[in-house]
Amino acid sequence: MEPGWSLKYYDPDKLDLWELIVEGPVGTPYENGRFQVTVKFPPEYPLTIPEIFFNTKIFHPNIDSHGHICLGIFTEGGWHPAQSIRVLLKHIQKLLANSNFDDFIYPEAAFLFKEDRVKFRQKAVEWTKTYASENVPITSFQSLSTSEKV
Protein backbone atom coordinates (compact mmCIF):
# COMPACT_ATOMS: atom_id res chain seq x y z
CA MET A 1 0.00 0.00 0.00
CA GLU A 2 0.97 3.65 -0.16
CA PRO A 3 2.61 5.78 2.53
CA GLY A 4 0.05 6.84 5.12
CA TRP A 5 -1.72 3.51 5.41
CA SER A 6 -1.03 -0.20 5.48
CA LEU A 7 -3.00 -3.39 5.33
CA LYS A 8 -3.09 -4.97 8.78
CA TYR A 9 -5.26 -7.99 8.10
CA TYR A 10 -7.42 -9.66 5.53
CA ASP A 11 -8.56 -13.22 5.06
CA PRO A 12 -7.85 -14.47 1.52
CA ASP A 13 -10.99 -16.60 1.79
CA LYS A 14 -13.11 -13.60 2.78
CA LEU A 15 -11.90 -10.56 0.86
CA ASP A 16 -14.91 -8.43 1.78
CA LEU A 17 -13.45 -7.43 5.16
CA TRP A 18 -10.12 -5.64 5.61
CA GLU A 19 -8.34 -4.08 8.54
CA LEU A 20 -6.09 -1.15 7.71
CA ILE A 21 -3.79 1.10 9.68
CA VAL A 22 -4.12 4.78 8.77
CA GLU A 23 -1.23 6.95 9.89
CA GLY A 24 -1.96 10.40 11.27
CA PRO A 25 -0.75 13.14 8.91
CA VAL A 26 2.38 15.10 9.82
CA GLY A 27 1.69 18.52 11.33
CA THR A 28 -1.71 17.54 12.74
CA PRO A 29 -2.78 16.50 16.25
CA TYR A 30 -2.94 12.97 14.82
CA GLU A 31 0.74 12.87 13.83
CA ASN A 32 2.47 9.63 14.91
CA GLY A 33 -0.93 8.03 15.48
CA ARG A 34 -1.74 4.63 14.00
CA PHE A 35 -5.49 4.37 13.62
CA GLN A 36 -7.15 1.04 12.91
CA VAL A 37 -9.82 1.29 10.26
CA THR A 38 -12.15 -1.49 9.13
CA VAL A 39 -13.35 -1.68 5.54
CA LYS A 40 -16.35 -3.83 4.65
CA PHE A 41 -16.94 -4.29 0.94
CA PRO A 42 -20.59 -4.88 0.02
CA PRO A 43 -21.48 -7.58 -2.52
CA GLU A 44 -22.36 -4.78 -4.95
CA TYR A 45 -18.87 -3.21 -4.79
CA PRO A 46 -17.75 -1.19 -6.75
CA LEU A 47 -21.27 -0.03 -7.56
CA THR A 48 -21.84 0.58 -3.85
CA ILE A 49 -19.33 2.31 -1.59
CA PRO A 50 -17.61 0.17 1.06
CA GLU A 51 -18.47 0.78 4.70
CA ILE A 52 -15.45 2.29 6.45
CA PHE A 53 -15.12 3.12 10.12
CA PHE A 54 -12.46 3.80 12.74
CA ASN A 55 -11.91 1.18 15.43
CA THR A 56 -9.39 3.43 17.18
CA LYS A 57 -10.84 6.14 19.38
CA ILE A 58 -10.11 9.58 17.89
CA PHE A 59 -11.04 13.14 18.90
CA HIS A 60 -12.20 14.55 15.57
CA PRO A 61 -15.29 16.57 14.59
CA ASN A 62 -16.03 14.34 11.58
CA ILE A 63 -15.59 10.94 13.28
CA ASP A 64 -18.07 9.95 15.97
CA SER A 65 -17.60 7.79 19.06
CA HIS A 66 -18.61 4.69 17.07
CA GLY A 67 -16.02 5.36 14.37
CA HIS A 68 -18.49 6.53 11.72
CA ILE A 69 -17.00 9.06 9.32
CA CYS A 70 -18.79 12.16 8.04
CA LEU A 71 -17.27 12.80 4.63
CA GLY A 72 -18.86 13.92 1.38
CA ILE A 73 -17.66 10.91 -0.61
CA PHE A 74 -19.69 8.66 1.73
CA THR A 75 -22.95 10.41 0.86
CA GLU A 76 -25.27 9.57 -1.97
CA GLY A 77 -23.84 11.01 -5.14
CA GLY A 78 -20.33 11.29 -3.66
CA TRP A 79 -19.24 7.85 -4.82
CA HIS A 80 -18.94 6.36 -8.28
CA PRO A 81 -17.67 2.92 -9.35
CA ALA A 82 -14.50 4.24 -11.02
CA GLN A 83 -13.17 5.25 -7.58
CA SER A 84 -11.08 2.84 -5.56
CA ILE A 85 -10.25 2.12 -1.94
CA ARG A 86 -7.11 4.20 -2.51
CA VAL A 87 -9.32 7.23 -3.26
CA LEU A 88 -11.30 6.67 -0.06
CA LEU A 89 -8.15 6.40 2.04
CA LYS A 90 -6.75 9.59 0.54
CA HIS A 91 -10.02 11.36 1.42
CA ILE A 92 -9.78 10.06 5.00
CA GLN A 93 -6.20 11.30 5.35
CA LYS A 94 -7.20 14.69 3.95
CA LEU A 95 -10.03 14.81 6.48
CA LEU A 96 -7.57 14.13 9.31
CA ALA A 97 -5.43 17.02 8.04
CA ASN A 98 -8.34 19.37 7.29
CA SER A 99 -11.41 18.78 9.43
CA ASN A 100 -14.76 20.07 8.23
CA PHE A 101 -16.05 21.85 11.33
CA ASP A 102 -19.25 22.99 9.64
CA ASP A 103 -20.41 19.44 8.86
CA PHE A 104 -19.57 17.60 12.07
CA ILE A 105 -20.92 14.45 13.73
CA TYR A 106 -18.93 14.72 16.96
CA PRO A 107 -20.23 17.93 18.58
CA GLU A 108 -17.80 17.99 21.52
CA ALA A 109 -14.79 18.11 19.18
CA ALA A 110 -16.38 20.65 16.81
CA PHE A 111 -17.49 23.02 19.56
CA LEU A 112 -14.14 22.84 21.36
CA PHE A 113 -12.36 23.63 18.10
CA LYS A 114 -14.55 26.68 17.53
CA GLU A 115 -14.26 27.87 21.16
CA ASP A 116 -10.61 27.10 21.96
CA ARG A 117 -8.31 25.70 19.27
CA VAL A 118 -5.41 25.25 21.69
CA LYS A 119 -7.50 23.04 24.00
CA PHE A 120 -8.88 21.17 20.98
CA ARG A 121 -5.37 20.41 19.74
CA GLN A 122 -4.23 19.37 23.23
CA LYS A 123 -7.13 16.95 23.61
CA ALA A 124 -6.69 15.51 20.11
CA VAL A 125 -2.96 14.98 20.75
CA GLU A 126 -3.72 13.40 24.14
CA TRP A 127 -6.22 10.97 22.59
CA THR A 128 -3.80 10.15 19.78
CA LYS A 129 -1.06 9.32 22.30
CA THR A 130 -3.48 7.35 24.49
CA TYR A 131 -5.39 5.39 21.86
CA ALA A 132 -3.32 5.39 18.66
CA SER A 133 0.32 5.09 19.69
CA GLU A 134 2.43 2.11 18.72
CA ASN A 135 2.36 0.96 22.35
CA VAL A 136 -1.43 0.53 22.36
CA PRO A 137 -2.64 -2.92 21.31
CA ILE A 138 -4.80 -2.80 18.22
CA THR A 139 -8.21 -4.44 18.41
CA SER A 140 -8.96 -7.03 15.78
CA PHE A 141 -12.46 -7.33 14.38
CA GLN A 142 -12.13 -11.03 15.10
CA SER A 143 -12.17 -10.24 18.83
CA LEU A 144 -15.27 -8.06 18.74
CA SER A 145 -18.51 -9.38 20.11
CA THR A 146 -21.24 -10.34 17.67
CA SER A 147 -23.12 -7.09 18.35
CA GLU A 148 -20.03 -5.05 17.45
CA LYS A 149 -19.06 -6.91 14.28
CA VAL A 150 -19.31 -5.14 10.98
Total domains in the chain come to 1
Q: Is residue 145 part of a domain?
A: no
In a domain, 144, yes or no: no
Residue 105, domain CATH = 3.10.110.10
- Phi/psi of residue 139, nearest 5 degrees: -75, 140
Radius of gyration of the chain (CA): 15
pLDDT of the residue at 146: 32
Question: Phi and psi for 20 in degrees, rounded to 5?
Answer: -120, 160
Residue 90 covered by a domain: yes
Which residues are annotated as catalytic? 70
**pLDDT of amino acid 13:** 87
In a domain, 148, yes or no: no
User: Would you give per-residue pLDDT tens digits along the chain (150 residues)?
Assistant: 455 878 887 788 888 999 999 999 999 999 999 999 999 999 999 998 899 999 999 999 999 999 999 988 877 778 888 888 888 889 999 999 998 888 899 999 999 999 999 999 999 999 999 999 877 655 544 433 333 333
Nearest to 119 by CA among 29, 24, 31, 32: 29
> Is residue 150 in some structural domain?
no
Q: Does 48 map to a domain?
A: yes
| Predicted pLDDT at 3 | 59
Query: Is 146 inside any structural domain?
Result: no
C-alpha distances out from residue 88 to 44, 75, 131, 137, Å? 17, 12, 23, 25
Q: Tell me the whole-structure pTM to 2 decimals.
A: 0.84
What pLDDT was estimated at residue 5?
78
In a domain, 69, yes or no: yes
pLDDT computed for residue 102 by the predictor? 81
pLDDT attached to residue 60: 97
Its domain, for residue 77, covers 5-138
